[in-house]
Structures are given as structure tokens and as C-alpha cells.
Amino acid sequence: MRIVAKIGTSTLTNGTSCLAPPLLVDFARQTSELLDAGHQVLLVTSGAIALGREKLGFPQLPKDIPAKQMLAAIGQSRLMAVYDQIFGLYGRTVAQILLTRRDLERRRSYLNARNALIALVEQKVVPIVNENDTVATEEIRVGDNDNLSALVANLVDADLLILVTDQAGLYTADPRKESDAQLVSEVSTGEIPEELWHAAGGSDSRLGTGGMVTKLQAADLARRSGAACIIASGKEHDILLRLANGEKVGTYFTPVASSMESRKRYILSARRAPGVLKVDDGAVRALRRGASLLPIGMTEVSGTFGRGDTVRVCDPTGTEIARGIANYDSSDLVRIVRCPSDAIEAILGYHFGDEVIHHNNMVLL
Ligand code: GLU
């Protein structure tokens, strides 16, 4: 299973204003056991700003963006040093990935980020993802790590998104204000019910930016991208292991689409697909069998497009048979038409993979 787990500031600091390493050690142990069991795990972590504040000794700072960016720059490197050390106890390697909304919206950077993350998890490295707060201005930021983690789950086609928080899950009302508030154990309706949005209310956590509303937004996005989502408490013993084993703890959101459907939607949602790749009969048969498109099967490239853009694939008669995300710019593809894949590097001087369009990034029509 491919799992994205989001750890919020309140969990990292155990509700204080300083980092609480024992909890992190416990998450590292659980993550390591998940990897041993054959799962792939990506962590989305908050805490850069909180750690920057702690490092500077909690100075009085203006509330403006440059102050936050400064704190994030100081705290992020510290945060990674801590993750590196703690995962090192279990012989695990971590990798830092900093993203903004813009990186996920632009097709080229989307594809680059996706390929890098998948390469990391396939090597059993644990990507530690955070928003790139130091450069993320209002227009390009996601703004909270709940939504960021759902975008990451979508990016890597995760099976499960776990939102680790300091509460047992989602309640029918604010449990701190209403004594008859009930824990919601499962949301399986197509749409998340209006009452739950209402009950999620606002955030009143002092340090993090997320509240239940952003968790619901994240759950909504994740389940539409084909991932199940669980909101559960980080204080529960072995929470990641138990959830990965299918135990019902916290609030479980069933997926409402398959990740394949969601990927197809993404491919077909391109505003325009100006590029056309004409392929030979052998390639048509191979694609129909589920193979990727290789340069050797291409006979003609037309239109101008970039790596990451959606292009049309046409058979020798010009009929469109598939659409997919191109791994190379049109100017590159023109140079490798009809070439064997092992010649790509020699011709272009670089290599984004053997495929012109990877099978997973293609929709047959
Ligand atoms: N990216 C922020 C940080 O690392 C946290 C955002 C959030 O908690 O949602 O400090």
C-alpha cells in the first residue's frame, strides 16, 4: 500500500511550543515497520515555523509574511536534521521535498515532482514533505498541510491518507463545547454531509494552521482522487501500523473514485492538447495491450508542447486512439522519432525515462 501520513504541529510538539522528539521516534519506528511490511510511506510534516520560533527563543516578531518566511527557513533545516537523525536510528533514509501549490498546478513540475517522489518511495526512502514556506507567497501557497497532504496523495496515487492529529477523529459537534458530540466512525456517502462541514467549524489550535475544516477538505480531495482517508489521534498506540492493518480507529472516509479514474480525469482535463503523436500499427497493438508508448513506435510528431503536457496519440490513419502525458518536449521528440529507447540519452544528452508516454499516464479512447 502507498500511504501518505500527515503529522501536524500539535502532534510534533505534543501540544507544547517545543519539539517533542519521543513522539517522532515512535512515528519513525512505525514507519520503518511499515516499510519492512512492504508498504511505501510518505510523510507530510508541519513544524518549520514552530521550530524556527523555538530556535530563536520565541522572539516578538511582526505578524507579516517575511517574518514567517524567516522562521520557516530556520526551522525547516532543523526539522529535517531531526527527521534525518531519528529515522537514522532505524537505518532509514529520509529526503526533503518542499512544494507549493504552483508546483502541483503546472504540468511539467507536477510530473517532475511525481516522478521524484515515486523514485524515492521505490527505493524505500521516506520523503518528508512540507510546503516551501520560505518562498510561498499568498498566490502560490496551499496554506495548510492538511490540503497539502491530500494534494500529495493525489500526486502519487496513494491508497491511504492518514491525518494524524490530537483529536480522536471527526465529531458531530465540537466535543469541547457539546457534551453529546459523537465520534463519526465512517463517512461513505458520495458527498461529505453538510452537517459535518458545519460541525467541523474553525480551528482553535494555537500553533498549527489546520483545524477540522481543512481536514475535511483534505479528506474530500483524497477520496475523490481514489485514496481512503483517516483522521485519527497520534496519541493512540501504534496508530500508523493499526490503520495500515485495516483496524478501524478514528474517522474513516471511503474513496469515491478509483485512482485510475482520477488520473484519467486529470489527463483528459487538459485545457488543450495541441500535440499529436502519430504511431505505427505495432505501437497501436502494444498500447491496446497496456504497454507504454516508446519512441521506436512513433512515426511523426506535430504541434508544440512541453514535457508534462497532454498530447493526442493517433494511429496511421490519423484516428485518435489515446491521450497521455508526454515525458518529453515536442522539440525533443522530433529528434527521437523511431529511435530505440537506449539511444535517447546519446541523442538528447539526458533521459527522462524510456517511454514517450508511460502507460500509467495514458487513457485509451
Ligand atoms: N508549513 C507550515 C510549517 O511547517 C505548517 C502548515 C500547517 O501546519 O498546516 O510550519
pLDDT at residue 208 in the model: 44
Residue 127 has pLDDT above 50, yes or no: yes
* Residues with a CB atom less than 6 Å from ligand 1: 8-9, 46-50, 72, 130-131, 133, 144-145, 208-210
46-68 pLDDT per residue, tens: 999 999 999 999 888 888 888 98
Alpha helices in 124-182 (DSSP H): 145-155
The rounded distance, in Å, linking the Cα atoms of 177 and 318 is 65
pLDDT at residue 61 in the model: 85
pLDDT at residue 320 in the model: 94
DSSP codes of every residue in 4-54: EEEE-HHHHTTTSSS--HHHHHHHHHHHHHHHHTT-EEEEEE--HHHHHHH
Write down how long the chain is: 365
> Cα dist. 79→26, 44, 48, 130, 365 in Å?
16, 12, 6, 10, 46
* Among protein residues, the one whose CA lies closest to atom 5 of ligand 1: 46
212-239 pLDDT per residue, tens: 889 999 999 999 999 999 999 999 999 9
Cα–ligand 1 centroid distance for 196 (angstroms): 24
> Cα dist. 95→81, 111, 117 in Å?
11, 18, 9
CATH of 2-264, one of 3.90.340.10, 1.25.40.10, 3.40.50.1370, 3.40.1160.10: 3.40.1160.10
Q: Residue 67 CB: number of other CB atoms within 10 A?
A: 15
Cα–ligand 1 centroid distance for 247 (angstroms): 28
pTM listed for this prediction: 0.86
Residue 64, burial from CB neighbour count under 10 angstroms (0-12, 13-18, 19+)? exposed
- Taking a C-beta distance cutoff of 8 angstroms, is the pair 75, 207 a contact? no
- Taking a C-beta distance cutoff of 8 angstroms, is the pair 209, 130 a contact? no
Residue to substitute in 131, 152, 217 for testing ligand 1 pocket (most ligand atoms within 8 angstroms of CB): 131
Ramachandran assignment for 252, one of left (phi > 0), alpha (psi -120 to 50 degrees), beta (any other): beta
User: What residue ranges do the domains of the chain occupy?
Assistant: 2-264, 273-364
Angle value at C-alpha 267, between 254 and 231, nearest 5 degrees: 25
CA 124 to mean position of chain CA atoms: 16
pLDDT: which is higher, 262 or 336: 336
SS3 of 318-355: the string is CCEEEEEECCCCHHHHHHHCCCCHHHHHHHHCCCCCCC
Residue 205 has pLDDT above 60, yes or no: no
CA 318 to mean position of chain CA atoms: 36
Residue 203 has pLDDT above 70, yes or no: no
Taking domain 273-364, whether its CATH number is 3.40.50.2300 is answered by: no
Phi, psi of 139 (to 5 degrees): -70, -25
- Give Cβ neighbours of residue 32 (< 8 Å, ≥ 6 apart): 87, 90, 91, 92
242-254 pLDDT per residue, tens: 999 999 999 999 9
Cα–ligand 1 centroid distance for 180 (angstroms): 31
The rounded distance, in Å, linking the Cα atoms of 209 and 203 is 7
